[in-house]
Amino acid sequence: MEPIDVAFEKFKSLAQKVKESSYWNSVISEEDVRMKIINPIFTDILGWPMQDILCESTAGKQYIDYCCKLKGLNRLIIEAKKTARDLGINEDHAARFFQLKGAVFHTEAAREGIDQAIRYCGLKSVDLACLTNGHQWAVFRGRGNEGTDTLENLACVFGGLDAVTTKFKDFYELLSYEAVEGNTYRAVFRQAEGQPLRQKTIKSIPISPDSREMLKADKLHTDLEKIMHAFFRDLDPAQDAEARRACFVTTSESDAAEKGLERISEELRDKVQKLDTAQSTELTEIIQRVKEMQRNELVLLVGTKGAGKTTFIDRFFDDILPRKIMEDCVVVRLDLSHSDGRSDQMRTWLNEHFLIALEKAAFLNGHPTYDEIVGMCMGEYKRWSEGHKKHLYETDKLRFKDQFGEHIEKYFRQDRPHEYIIHLLFHIVKNHKKIPCIIFDNADHFDVTFQETVFNYAH
């Protein structure tokens, strides 16, 4: 087994033990936290040798709870608090990133522990810090980037041992001896901060073209190829989309191809996240995060032409995404293959077709009712009814409504479709309480300039 797998099994065993009331009730003081939780996690699970951990070493006139060394150098500061001192981290927070000076770390214990850890990091020239009360965990870089305030750094938090279990890989890549030795924690923080990851050098030796050799196909392969070709040729996605989705599988060949591509480009591997096409947990988590945090997310699905991206998206929204989440979504899809591919005209085409697709997806009859139009354009409605059309509004409301409806149709929907689209999206999110899931499909049918235009529009 790999070290991380061994560590995970040990952690689950410890977490289960800590949950027992007789054990947890004995964790009262800071010393209890250190001896019964922190010590076994760092020595037995995260792989830190006992001799490399100094307890109560001096830092100026104060004492550090833990100073972990690696090859004789100070590499990690751990500040411990007793369990009764809340760090402000919710139990459901698992590998979430929050700013050190933000609203999460509002408790006295959190502010005190962060200040202490940053001060010790400065005195000991240490980059990585951890603050914990044995239950809640915050991991952060104890020194700011050049010229920046350290409190502007992000902390990766875990709201409990269950949260650590859920995201143990992240926990291990931040705090294990192996992770600190290889500096993998830096890549985790750089990614969270939106900074580019450093390029790695490809060390593999390319295969000589002279060594290529065609493999001979046997007779069975030839016969099967004819049968399968005929089957998939007749499997028209427009006629039998359900069967096509059911045939979407991950094979050993596709896995081998993915691994081959990873070897070709280390840099891309660092920047592109592999997608679990079977359960699609990544996309599901993104949609849940959008709902919880009320913020947008942009996902770029990358693959060769014909790799099954469209089928994957169909299958995800029809078969994989839990119904409870799907009920909160408004799925809007634009098939870019229907456009003429002219980049200079693409925004006009997108506005026109996106508007129609959005109305069909968001409203029961494929278009908003008059009352819904008023709701979307309430600011404009009030400007008319209380401003230059006030007299008409008070004396002839039917005529007022006719003029206002014509105004919205002509001035917004026809002449300024992009602004109208923004009103539609705002209405879906704020009034319908739904999540717009906008899909721009088949961009890879066209050149890079076209794709860039669509990407900028989507963004």
**Token output for 193:** 């901060």
Paired residues of 54 in beta bridges: 67
* Token couple for 233: 């040729």
Q: What is the pLDDT of residue 163?
A: 94
Q: In a 10 Å sphere around its CB, with 0-12 CB exposed, 13-18 middle and 19+ buried, how is residue 372 labelled?
A: middle
| Cα–Cα distance measured from residue 184 to residue 172, given in angstroms and rounded to the nearest whole number | 10
Q: In this structure, are residues 382 and 400 in contact, taking their beta carbons and an 8 Å threshold?
A: no
Can you tell me the distance from the alpha carbon of 314 to that of 390, in angstroms, rounded to the nearest whole number? Answer: 49
Q: How far apart are CA 117 and CA 150, in angstroms?
A: 11
| Dist CA 209 CA 207 (whole Å) | 6
Per-residue pLDDT of the chain in tens (459 residues, 90 and over written 9): 788 999 999 999 999 999 898 888 899 999 999 999 999 999 999 999 999 999 989 988 899 999 999 999 999 999 999 999 999 999 989 999 999 999 999 999 999 999 999 999 999 999 999 999 999 999 999 987 767 889 999 999 999 999 999 999 999 999 999 999 988 898 889 888 887 655 555 455 566 666 767 666 676 776 777 677 666 666 655 556 666 666 666 666 666 656 655 554 444 444 455 555 666 677 888 888 887 777 788 888 877 777 778 888 888 888 888 888 888 888 999 888 888 888 888 888 898 898 898 888 888 888 888 888 888 888 888 998 999 999 998 999 899 999 988 888 887 788 888 888 888 888 888 888 888 999 998 888 888 888 888 888 888
According to the CATH classification, is domain 3-192 in 3.40.30.10?
no
The answer to whether 408 and 377 have CB atoms below 8 angstroms apart is: yes
Domain locations in the chain as residue ranges: 3-192, 328-458
Measured CA angle at 49 (ends 47, 55), to 5 deg: 115
Residue 379 neighbours by CB distance under 10 Å: 8
Q: Which three-class secondary structure string do you get for the chain?
A: CCHHHHHHHHHHHHHHHHHCHHHHCCCCCHHHHHHHHHHHHHHHHCCCCHHHEEEEEEECCEEEEEEEEECCEEEEEEEECCCCCCCCCCCCCEEEEEECCCCCCCCHHHHHHHHHHHHHHHHHCCCEEEEECCCCEEEEECCCCCCCCHHHCEEEEECCHHHHHHCHHHHHHHHCHHHHHHCHHHHHHHHHCCCCCCCCCCCCCCCCHHHCCCCCCCHHHHHHHHHHHHHHHHCCCCCCHHHHHHCCCCCHHHHHHHHHHHHHCHHHHHHCCCCCCCCCHHHHHHHHHHHHHCCCCCCCCCCCCCCCHHHHHHHHHHHHCCHHHHCCEEEEEEEHHHCCCCHHHHHHHHHHHHHHHHHHHHCCCCCCCHHHHHHHCHHHHHHHHHCCCHHHHHHCHHHHHHHHHHHHHHHHHHCCHHHHHHHHHHHHHHCCCCEEEEEEECHHHCCHHHHHHHHHHHC
Is beta strand 154-158 parallel, antiparallel or unpaired with respect to 128-132? Answer: unpaired
Kindly report whether the global pTM for this prediction surpasses the value 0.75.
no
Of 180, 173, 87, 90, nearest in space to 131 by CA: 87
CA dist 297 and 192 (Å) reads: 14
Would you state the pLDDT for residue 181?
A: 92
- At how many degrees (to 10) do helices 397-407 and 378-386 cross? 130
CA-CA-CA-CA torsion sign (458, 452, 282, 438): positive
pLDDT score of 243: 65
Contacts of 308 (CB under 8 A, 6+ apart): 248
CA distance 181 to 75: 9
Q: What is the C-alpha separation between 342 and 297, in angstroms, rounded?
A: 27
Pairing of strands 154-158, 94-99: antiparallel
